[in-house]
Amino acid sequence: MIENHKKNVVVGLALLLGLFSTLGPFTIDMYLPAFPQIAEHFNTNASLVQFSLTACLLGLAIGQLVMGSLSDVYGRRNPLLISMAIYVISSLACSFAPNIGLLILFRFAQGFAASAGIVISRAIARDLYSGHELTKFFSLLLLVGNLGPLAAPIAGSGILSFTTWVGVFIVLAVLGTYLLAMTKWRLEETLPADRREPANFGHQLRSYGMLLRDRKFVGYMLAQGIMIAGVFAYVSGTPFIYQDIYGVTPAVFALLFGSNGISLIIGSQLVGRMANRISEQTFLLFGLWVALFASVAVLVVALVHGPLFALVIPLFFFVCSIGITSTAAFPLAMESQANMAGSAAALLGVIPFLLGAVVAPLVGIAGEDTAVPLGLIILATSTAAMLAYFGLVRKAPKGASAPNLD
């Protein structure tokens, strides 16, 4: 009886934190089916519309650095409350943007606010768990969080069936309001005052410096981050590739895109379920190899302009590999960072979004009639992630870790 109650508490917390994790995917993915519509509405090109995604990714990246540090200083709840309020306001501003320039600006603010849900939910997980228990809990958190990429484009497509792209941002404002209420009345503080960092900007910079001198931490951070950057190329490119090159409808695009949310869930749950039998290191390396082979297949299909199914299948496996590598790399990187969980979670989150902000517009650089840039970019990210793992993690001295701030 007590064991069942404990399990229900864990699942309930994972559901709650997972909801905050979904804010990032919903903010990124929900308006993807509306890309062609937004381009037409503002009389602009694909690259500028994709730049609104870049602005959001930059906001998510910079915001995680700021919110991760603030949560180490002021606790988890208050920074999250403020961020959710900003998210609601910026979402409404996006819906009323009069031109593409202001939409890009408001998308940056929206991404900045959404970052708190991602980084603070992960810091809370590290506050409460470690080792294989952290891996299992993180896989539960991802089970909920990965429903975002599955549900967001489908929800966006559904909204577009009876209203314009403006309605997408109205719905995001409603979602932000709900999460604001959840933060106020359901989320308890998990970082006691005696474990908080000093409110000192120089100290926070030193914390980041110590983390960046930890060779293994940096290796895990780059391996995970570069891989996820490849997914942002996929996120940015497929709305035009599927709809403009292959001629699918927004509804079919949403189904194809959403199916890869299932692949993310498969990858993350595989690691969580097998954590006691197969090491996180083994899973991380396996995921990197899957990504490499899948990205080669995507490039070949793009070069020969193969049929749609031949492109969808390797992309499914590529996205699945992200679920594997993310779930395995996070606990490996966070294990020795109990005193700097917020800052460590921020760095683990910032690299994907910074790199994603760079690669997202590159997918459309050759125009809207070719998928070759997508194939080249995800192959480059898969190769770079593999090199980061072997160059930094495998070659790091045994027992190397960041020094304790205390």
State the pLDDT at residue 146: 65
Give the domains, in start order, of the chain with CATH numbers: 2-393 (1.20.1250.20)
Q: What is the pLDDT along the chain (406 residues), one digit of tens a residue?
A: 445 545 555 667 777 888 888 888 889 888 888 888 888 888 887 778 888 988 998 898 888 888 888 888 888 899 999 999 999 999 999 999 999 999 999 999 999 999 998 889 888 887 888 777 777 787 777 777 667 766 777 788 888 888 888 999 999 999 999 999 988 888 888 888 878 877 676 777 777 888 888 888 889 999 988 998 888 788 778 877 888 888 888 778 878 877 777 888 888 888 878 877 888 889 999 999 999 999 999 999 989 888 999 999 999 999 999 889 988 888 888 776 656 767 787 788 778 777 877 777 777 665 567 788 888 999 999 999 999 999 988 765 555 544 343 3
Residue 178, CB-side half-sphere exposure with 13 Å CA sphere: 11
The pTM is what?
Answer: 0.70
Q: Is 75 left (phi over 0), alpha (psi -120 to 50) or beta?
A: left
State the pLDDT at residue 387: 94
* Cβ atoms of 237 and 365 closer than 8 Å: no
Q: Is 199 left (phi over 0), alpha (psi -120 to 50) or beta?
A: beta
* Cβ atoms of 223 and 325 closer than 8 Å: yes
What tokens were used for 186?
Answer: 């359901």
What tokens were used for 403?
Answer: 């020094």
**Alpha carbon distance 301, 387 (integer Å):** 25
**Alpha carbon distance 142, 201 (integer Å):** 32
161 CB burial (10 A radius; 0-12, 13-18, 19+) = exposed
Query: How far is CA 41 from each of CA 55, 92, 156, 316, 367, rounded to the nearest angstrom?
Result: 19, 18, 17, 32, 19
State the pLDDT at residue 406: 37
* Cβ atoms of 378 and 216 closer than 8 Å: no
State the pLDDT at residue 339: 62
Taking each helix axis from N to C end, the angle separating 308-334 and 250-273, rounded to the nearest 10 degrees, works out to 40
Going by C-alpha positions, the residue among 361, 358, 322, 337 that lies closest to residue 223 is 322
pLDDT tens digits, 2-27: 455 455 556 677 778 888 888 888 89
What tokens were used for 338?
Answer: 């109990």
Mapping DSSP onto H, E and C, the string for the chain reads: CHHHHHHHHHHHHHHHHHHHHHHHHHHHHCCHHHHHHHHHHCCCCHHHHHHHHHHHHHHHHHHHHHHHHHHHHHCCHHHHHHHHHHHHHHHHHHHCCCCHHHHHHHHHHHHHHHHHHHHHHHHHHHHHCCHHHHHHHHHHHHHHHCHHHHHHHHHHHHHHCCCCHHHHHHHHHHHHHHHHHHHHHCCCCCCCHHHCCCCCHHHHHHHHHHHHCCHHHHHHHHHHHHHHHHHHHHHHHHHHHHHHHCCCCHHHHHHHHHHHHHHHHHHHHHHHHCCCCCCHHHHHHHHHHHHHHHHHHHHHHHHHCCCHHHHHHHHHHHHHHHHHHHHHHHHHHHCCCHHHHHHHHHHHHHHHHHHHHHHHHHHHCCCCCCCHHHHHHHHHHHHHHHHHHHHHHCCCCCCCCCCCCC
* Cβ atoms of 368 and 46 closer than 8 Å: yes
pLDDT tens digits, 244-258: 888 888 778 878 877
**Alpha carbon distance 22, 244 (integer Å):** 28
**Alpha carbon distance 279, 328 (integer Å):** 8
